[in-house]
Structure 1
């Protein structure tokens, strides 16, 4: 990384700053020797991504660069925000992938981006006042939804996941897009109860792969996150969701082909059927971890399941195919 001095004349002024928080995934998994080398390599990759996309001016204008051990937090004048969001993600994704393809380290990174007012600070021991934009950039980049983007993608294809604060979209990208558009970001909720932190963020992956293509960026089926013991296991989430379901969750007469149904809230394989309607067959394979440790993949049903008028489908504990037998008619006459 270049040793050129970082401009500091503005640190004493109140101003708007674009903050980028870079974080290396699973940094603790590397050996001490690897970490020493990576500490230089990932800074080189970031700097080269800036310089390779006509962002040299932005890089030269950076106001602070704080070392976080497994990442860095860098601040820029807010006027560079649009160009950074438009150009940097794809360039950094390409640079990280290229390094690994050429036999170097496999570095996968998360990037949080926020923008907002930062107070001037006269203490030379502090690079920047730890105001809200710095906190937002770090936390949305390290949040569970952002982490899941790397956990659910191909480690040899997807090297960067990005989360941006809402005002980056509403104030910069959305109103007047130049390259990236607001439709290339997915809105999610960020909740960190232990830190009393709640906000929304917009996710973007410059090169999606694996389950990111199958399910999208916000409906990922896996909830386990490497190195984060505080994350609630998927099994607990499902049990709690089922226990909290109101008795009217499965209503007669509705059509489950309605795409407005929020299946993610109660488990993707929850089943119900309305009178005369059929259950949509989803052919995607999903893991089902039973309490006995076995794993199966597939769907509960392999075809359309229907009921007669007033009939029901029991999704809990019964064989819905009924051994191939057709239900008897209401008037008692045998069907032929």
Structure 2
């Protein structure tokens, strides 16, 4: 195919702004082939149900550049939907996955469905003509880098596998425009600033982490055995090179204290002053 290359640089129309929703299932590659097929079919069902319950049925019905790659899903939509994609969608997705948990356990007691979620926004081609340029741009790349970052991976790896089923991360642009702008009911105090880094990709950015239902486990990884190097709690956020405990903001407010002594690691959620009721997840 011949491609016309202009002799001189010229200005081009800015592509339309699109919000991007990307999800990925935790530890999909460690699931058996039979169970991969089962969970792969379940991912669109879970997303459709969570979006519909969140008042976002039109996002599922008329998405931009939707793609299902087996262990994850990505779609674009109008940026006006971002506030609802944060709240109530993230908490609703946690509840939908929790509803599926007994069914998955009936298939296999070790089978779990936990998701990392990222939201981004920016100018992205949206021709819908199958030309291959749709969704090509920094906004799509950044959304996937956030999804793959060690910060959001650790949020699941350090939590209880039957309690915390969703960990979400957003970048600075979404945080400023939607959260700090006051357009979503999920207050800024519910988000923990994190260093979003992807090893081997040269990517490092400011991210904001939200976990609808926080939990903690003792003795390191809730799955037993060692975590992958990229998800090692002893490196990156939460622990220094000496193994001493460090602190970071908790997704629900207060502080998460990470401790590491030799091969023993853990974390404690320390809540700040509580006014009235104490809520985890969807309660506000």
Which of 145, 148, 156 is the matching residue for 2:151?
A: 145
Contact 1:66 1:127 survives alignment (8 Å): no
Q: Which residue does the alignment assign to 1:34?
A: 35
TM norm structure 2: 0.72
- Per-residue Cα deviation, 1:103-123 (whole angstroms, up to 9, x for no partner): 465201100111111135586
Runs (4+) off by over 6 Å: 224-227, 235-240
- CA RMSD in angstroms comes to 3.4
The aligned residue for residue 268 of structure 1 is 245
2:179 match: 173
Q: CA deviation at 1:175?
A: 1.5
CA deviation profile, 1:276-302 (whole Å, cap 9, x unmatched) = xxxxxxxx9955227xxxx699xxxxx
Following the alignment from structure 2 to structure 1, what is the Cα–Cα distance between the partners of residues 98 and 156? 14
With over 3 angstroms needed to count, the CA separation of the structure-2 counterparts of 1:132 and 1:237, relative to structure 1, is: closer
Say whether the 8 Å CA contact 2:24–2:73 is kept in structure 1: yes
Contact 2:19 2:77 in 1 (8 A): yes
* Alpha-carbon displacement from aligned partner over 1:176-202 (angstroms, at most 9, x marks no partner): 244111111111112335222221110
Say whether 1:111 aligns with 2:112. no
Report the equivalent of 1:50: 51
Runs (5+) with no aligned partner, structure 2: 1-12, 247-256, 267-284
Aligned residue-pair number: 236
Query: TM-score, normalization: structure 1?
Result: 0.62
Q: Mark the CA change 1:285 to 1:51 in structure 2 (over 3 Å): closer, same or farther.
A: closer
- CA distance in 2 between counterparts of 1:112 and 1:83 reads 14
Q: Which has the higher contact order (CA 8 A, sep 6+)?
A: 2
> Unaligned regions of 5+ residues in structure 1, if any?
1-11, 215-220, 243-265, 270-283, 298-336
Alpha-carbon distance in structure 2 between the residues aligned to 1:204 and 1:238: 16
Q: Which has the larger radius of gyration?
A: 1
- Equivalent residues of 1:26, 1:226 under 8 A apart: no
CA gap 1:64/1:289 in 2 versus in 1, 3 angstroms: same
